[in-house]
Structure 1
Amino acid sequence: MNNSHSAPKGARTPWQVTRSVWYAMFLREALSRTMGDRMGWFWMVFEPVALVAVMVGIRSFVRGGNLIANAEFIPWLIAGMMGFFLVREGMMRGMGAVEANRSLFAYRQVQPIDPVLVRNFLEGALRSFVFLLFIGGGLMLGQDMYPDNAIRAMAAWLSLWCLGLGLGLVTSVSATLVPEVGKIVQMLSLPLMILSGVIFPLNNMPHWLLEYLMLNPIPHGLETLRLGFFENYKVVHGTSMLYFWLFTFSLIAMGLLMHLRFVDRLKAK
């Protein structure tokens, strides 16, 4: 006679339930992101292409020489832009994730943090694919887009992905509870791109100003990503991945704590 108290046959563990939820939400988000908007793929590729074309035109008009020491301008610009867009989209997509999936919270298995995590993963995967397209396209056009240190470049890319996750976790709570936060974040997007050294090298800035600009973690990740592409590239003074990761871990921890603390308000709002 078997007296074992095993779980009922067919019962799933919490991890299996969570994994099923993430998988279903990923499919839903992926179809919505890639098929729902016919122009979605176009804008993901066209935005960086248009910005590169504008910046190359400005550079050619202003001065013909190289702006960047030990790095070609176009690959330098593409690496910076794609890294910044990875962070920006992680933050912006996370910000609207809770509101867009509110109807799913009727199922007790779905928590407000789930759509944020799923959206960040999907956005990172799409941005990685677009970046690979740019690298392939650049190589075919004769640009030096092949990374000198592929491991460093991939590590910096994943680091920027994690920073986008941390920002997304924080903004998903704050913008849902206080809608004005979302408007402020959207307004800061363009200035943040300029102040992060995406389109102009920060090395040209005065030292007193650079000290304040480097409080922003994004340039630390972008400069390390560029160093992965150009081995002899002179990174901005003060670049530190230790600072970057301390900032990123703090954001992720704060975002997780905010989701725990306000989970009922996020579901009820």
Structure 2
Amino acid sequence: MYLKTHVRVVAALLIREMSTRFGSRPGGYIWALVDPAAHIILLTVIFQAIARQPALGTSFPLFYATGYVGFSFYQSVVGYVSAALNSNKALLSYPNVAPFDTIVARYILQMGTTAFVAIIVIGAISTSLYHPLNLDWLPIMEAAIAGSLLALGTALSNTVLFRSWPLYESIYGIITRPLMLISGVFFLPDSIPQPFRDIVLLNPIAHVIVLFRSGFYPEYRATAYSPEYLYTFVTGSLLLGMTLFASSSKLLRNE
């Protein structure tokens, strides 16, 4: 009965989030596609002007799309989920609505939105290729899930820390601002020299992107990817986030 109540609450919150975010007009959904497409086009134009070919394969749009979309499974989720409680503060006065319900609803919506955008954007790019994509769905799906779970754990921690120490939110924003530049969206970590290669691979998101790309390029050996390293971070992030979240229930509901 308890679980059934929370499933209904999450479903209601999910519908509310979709209505608030996208509205009743199709323009909201179109913008969800336009934003990543614009980034990929800009990256393609810039790097195509300074390089003869991408670091992998022959298509600039596909190379940067796989990097940007792989990164988005982390970045878009962590940003959207971290703001779940602030956006649903009024609903927490209802005893049936738990703080974690708002987190779950936003996680499901953002994960689904990012996956939908990935299919449309990469599908559109595939129509311009000379050869059809030879996809390996296992690493693609594994990277998407691992990136989003890493983001979920980080978002759970952020939800508590943002409320406990407002200064942390500013510091977090400054520290994570260059994240896309150092995560392997624009380059292959495998191809850069030491010691910079090892420094870049300290970032678990770089492993997510390497794994995601390996599903699109059969010839890519992805030697930089370490499943042990990535899943240590994913597990640690979730455990830390859930511990902080569970121990701060009064703070999250009453503030």
| TM-score normalised by length of structure 1 | 0.87
Q: Does 1:28 align with 2:16?
A: yes
C-alpha separation in 1, matches of 2:33 and 2:167: 30
Report the alpha carbon displacement of residue 38 of structure 1 after superposing the two structures with TM. 7.3
C-alpha separation in 2, matches of 1:222 and 1:213: 12
- Choose from 66, 71, 74 the match for 1:84: 71
Q: Does 1:17 align with 2:5?
A: yes
Aligned to 1:56: 44
Cα deviation per residue 1:220-257 (whole Å; 9 max; x = unaligned)?
1110110011111142x441122111111111111111
Superposition CA RMSD, Å? 2.1
- How do residues 1-269 of structure 1 correspond to structure 2 at under 5 angstroms? 13-35=1-23, 40-64=28-52, 66-70=53-57, 72-142=59-129, 146-235=133-222, 237-269=223-255
- Residues 22 and 114 in structure 1, CA contact (< 8 A), matched pair in contact too: yes
| TM-score normalised by length of structure 2 | 0.91
Aligned to 1:5: none
Aligned in 2, Cα 1:234/1:30: closer, same or farther, shift over 3 Å? Answer: same
Aligned in 2, Cα 1:38/1:224: closer, same or farther, shift over 3 Å? Answer: same
C-alpha separation in 1, matches of 2:29 and 2:86: 23
SS state at 1:207 partner: coil
Aligned in 2, Cα 1:200/1:144: closer, same or farther, shift over 3 Å? Answer: farther
Q: How many residues align?
A: 255
Aligned-pair identity (%): 23
SS state at 2:187 partner: coil
- Residues 189 and 224 in structure 2, CA contact (< 8 A), matched pair in contact too: no
Cα deviation per residue 1:68-114 (whole Å; 9 max; x = unaligned)?
14463321210110121121111111221111111111122222122
C-alpha separation in 2, matches of 1:67 and 1:136: 19
24-33 or 202-211, larger mean C-alpha shift:
202-211
- Residues 173 and 259 in structure 1, CA contact (< 8 A), matched pair in contact too: yes
Structure 1, gaps ≥5 residues long = 1-12
Structure 2, gaps ≥5 residues long = none
**Structure of greater Rg:** 1
Aligned in 2, Cα 1:219/1:176: closer, same or farther, shift over 3 Å? Answer: same
- Residues 98 and 176 in structure 1, CA contact (< 8 A), matched pair in contact too: no
